[in-house]
Structure 1
């Protein structure tokens, strides 16, 4: 560095810088290499790391897919989530893998099996990665306009604490672009027996079937309402808010599983009264509790929302009981309130029946001739009480069904023991008679 100091005016006009020669200084080539080498090394390192990451991610995804296929192929290896209840189960681990897979699943839609207010449900084929075999799944397709319903149901299903044998098993949610626009898919297990309303329309059930259907329904609702999982892990209670026979599926073992959570609500303690008030009057009018029809739910008590579910569950239990051959003569299937209201009644029409007339579905005297049906009817009556606080909890209903199942087993055992005793007594008499004949001879 050269410094020039002068004291004259405008002396810098005459300033001249002589060339500085430093024979002992560094070579320009070395300086250039030293400057460029670190960025080149860093660039190579970044490219190598990114390449290794991509390779590792691909291997990981392949392993996930292979794991899914193993679970599909080997249903006995700790599998609890059902892909097709005619064939096999798939473990909850597999479901989590599918749920977090960012790639769209290879699914081929088959037939339309249901249509609701917000979405259509298709039977579909999920292609396996390593073969030409397929597994049957259900695909619920929401149009672009129903994004909010899809998002709500996706969030409910994504809660790991929701998993239960009496709740529809969830695989994954996807956003898909199609020829007709953007669609939102929910992919779940498929149950070939359809929903409970369809099943009751086509079949007359036995007392044992009633215990299976009613008990599993109560256990599913109790799990939703509970603040902990069966293994004791804390969980946020959920209210369904649209319980009805068409929103309940029948599995191959004749147990129920709940579905269609588009109107459900998390009972989070952090929710304010205003948040709950904004949730609105939702559900299906035929199954609405009196306080929902009247818009007088106690928003300061979250248990009030659970009590509306219990009322709806009572109507579904009535539907199941009405098709049981243990009640005597079984009539054709009718929804609750039958022909007293239209096929799709409005809120005002249900107000007249439920609020003004205090009407409930009819329980015939012939139903009470069967001791078990009588206990079920008592439970139903307590669940659809006009006063929400007087209703049973879903957990209490589930416990009552458990007691009925145990009593039924004890009764069957005692009948069996009695038959064995009679059989032994007859054999004893035959032997005694034979001995007497021998003695006479």
Structure 2
């Protein structure tokens, strides 16, 4: 007990001296906290129906931008010229004039309009500091802005929080000392945290790392980079299961300024009903505040993404059915409002489906990854909420209605059908590398003649010229590929409502493994007499 008291006292003195030394000798870098840049509505001057007589109104701006600098604030300018009303929303440095006016009231949580008569009889400007606060413009004097707390509060609150943290650390040292003699230095505790009541027999369940200690992950090489993050191959310090499935993991690392993308993907993964063999397996989400990084930890698949795999490999018919079926089943599971056992599930639209976002496992099965742009399709979502999701995705794989920004926001199924179009392009990629279609060309993505196309060039190709990836005549000679091509064409139809659903395509894929799809130029009725009716029907269709 005397040794225990000495240990606790030593811990308290160490914490106190460290805090004192840090306060007296902190470097300029440590004194300057990392500040996230703001999210503001950011649209050029455009027509608006927002009127001062309404008291307040919402701007019709669908673009949300991360400000370039942390000291910038959200600002809006409202102007009426006769019967025409225009609104401008921007990120702006308050130290610089905005329309010739120095912003003095930017320390607000709401955007309260102030009239500037010298700019015109009906010219109003507002500024504020909350996320996207310049979306709602307040004209009524009854709706006064909520000022940020006074300086005394700003000082007292952090001091109080630090005091609580210090007491918590003292308590932690005490508890840690008590337990030190009882705990063994192994991975059993970490495993017990990762394994919950939802655990499958063959994998570790989805889990958000709420523990104060981060998982013992050692980063290895970078294996991929995207718009928002980079992916590392990594190793857990010790095995997380008896067979060591997740000893090697993938860590997707976001900078703090990409919090929105990290949080979107994290929230998608946190739905336990998302778990599926054709969805990449999620392990943990962590905040690394010291390094100012955000982590998502998932299963690692050494074969990489589907696009790179197809570039280096040819497929036979069985592999085509397996890989294509896996992609379809993954999309169908995302879109479904039921899980595999009939439980309620929130549908998810991926919104960036492409071969780069499909991983190939060791057994050559596939799983879908990268949910940074995904959306959970709740039935009670309003048109405004859906509209604010904006025009996202990769231009090469975007459906016609997305390219033209004419998605039907009255129906959440529209988001799913846009995914189906993208899925059709991925199926075309897989089919183009199958040996049963005849002589194979070098791999190329859909619309391969276009190099890194933008939205405008894709609009010209897909909408104006009504082009789709080429399906050669030789593909039709194989009965199975012929039926698959017909499905692909139905999935990339110009009309979203005419496209097949992912669940329908999944059901049809289940018929692709039978003997009716052996290569043949004619149908022998004697050979088909013992086949299931669905396979005979498909065989006749393909011939």
Report the TM range for the smaller structure's normalisation.
0.7 to 0.9
Equivalent residue number for residue 260 of structure 1: 370
1:291 aligns with 2:416: no
Structure having greater relative contact order (Cα 8 Å, sep ≥ 6):
1
Structure 2 CA distance for partners of 1:69 and 1:346, relative to 1, 3 Å: closer
Q: 2: distance between equivalents of 1:371 and 1:275?
A: 45
Instruction: Indicate whether 1:321 and 2:397 are aligned.
Output: no
- Secondary structure of the equivalent of 1:403? coil
CA contact (8 A) 1:65 1:129 kept: no
Structure-2 residue corresponding to 1:390 = 498
1:245 aligns with 2:355: yes
In the other structure, the counterpart of 1:209 is 319
Counterpart pick for 2:460 among 346, 352, 356: 352
Q: CA deviation at 1:78?
A: 5.4
TM-score, structure 1 normalization: 0.72
Query: Is the partner of 2:342 in helix, strand or coil?
Result: coil
Pairing 1:94-105 to 2, within 5 Å after superposition: 95-96=206-207, 99-105=209-215
Where 1:121 maps in the other structure, the secondary structure is strand
**Residue 236 in 1 paired to residue 378 in 2?**
no
Alpha carbons 1:196, 1:250 under 8 Å: kept = yes
> 2:503 and 2:446 mapped to 1: Cα distance?
23
Distance in 2 separating the partners of 1:309 and 1:212: 20
Equivalent pair of 1:229/1:235 in contact (CA under 8 Å): yes
User: Is structure 2 residue 331 aligned with structure 1 residue 221?
Assistant: yes
Equivalenced residues, count? 344
What do residues 371-409 of structure 1 show as CA deviations (whole Å, max 9, x unaligned)? 011011011000000010000000011111111124569
Answering whether residue 403 of structure 2 is matched by residue 278 of structure 1, we say no
Instruction: Assess, with a 3 A threshold, how the Cα gap between structure 1 residues 159 and 200 changes in structure 2: closer, same or farther.
Output: same
* 2:305 equivalent to 1:156: no
RMSD: 3.2
Cα shift at 1:198: 0.4
Maintained 8 Å contact 1:139/1:187:
yes
2:513 corresponds, among 382, 405, 421, to 405
Cross-structure match for 2:190: 65
The Cα offsets for residues 137-174 of structure 1, whole Å up to 9 and x where unpaired, read as 00001012111100110110111011000000000011
1:184 aligned counterpart, secondary structure: strand
Other structure's SS at 1:386 match? coil
- Please list the CA deviations of residues 221-268 of structure 1 after superposition, one character each: whole Å capped at 9, or x if unmatched: 000000010011101100000000000101112111000000000111
Q: After superposition, give the CA deviation of every residue in 1:286-318 in whole Å (9 maximum; x if it has no partner).
A: 000000001111111111110000000000000
Alignment correspondent of 2:485? 377
Encode CA deviations 1:50-107: one digit per residue, 9 max, x unaligned. 969x859x97997542547999xxxxx9543xxxxxxxxx332xx44x7454420111
Q: Which residue of 2 aligns with 1:4?
A: none
Query: Which protein has the bigger helix share?
Result: 1
Q: 1:108–1:379: structure 2 CA closer, same or farther, 3 Å change rule? A: same
Q: Which residue of 247, 253, 257 corresponds with 1:141?
A: 253
**Paired residue for 1:127, among 237, 247, 272?**
237
Q: 1:369 to 1:308 in 2, by over 3 A?
A: same
**Contact in 2 for aligned 1:314/1:384 (Cα 8 Å):** yes
The change in CA–CA distance for 1:185 and 1:162 in structure 2 (over 3 A counts) is same
For residues 291 and 409 of structure 1, the distance between their equivalents in structure 2, rounded to whole angstroms, comes to: 35
Deviations 1:168-218 (A, max 9, x none): 00000111145xx40001000000110000000000111110000000110
Q: Give the distance between the partners of 1:66 and 1:314, measured in 2 at CA.
A: 40
Q: CA separation in 1, counterparts of 2:273 and 2:195?
A: 24
Partners of 1:100 and 1:172 within 8 A in 2:
no
Equivalent pair of 1:367/1:373 in contact (CA under 8 Å): yes
Q: Any gaps of 5 or more consecutive residues in structure 2?
A: 1-170, 520-526, 528-543
| Cross-structure match for 2:416 | 306
Distance 1:272 1:392 in 2: 25
Q: 1:78 to 1:170 in 2, by over 3 A?
A: closer
Distance 1:388 1:407 in 2: 33
Q: Any gaps of 5 or more consecutive residues in structure 1?
A: 1-46, 72-76, 81-89, 412-417, 419-441
SS in 1 for 2:325: helix
Task: Give the TM-score of the pair, scaled to structure 2.
Answer: 0.59
Query: Following the alignment from structure 2 to structure 1, what is the Cα–Cα distance between the partners of residues 350 and 200?
Result: 29
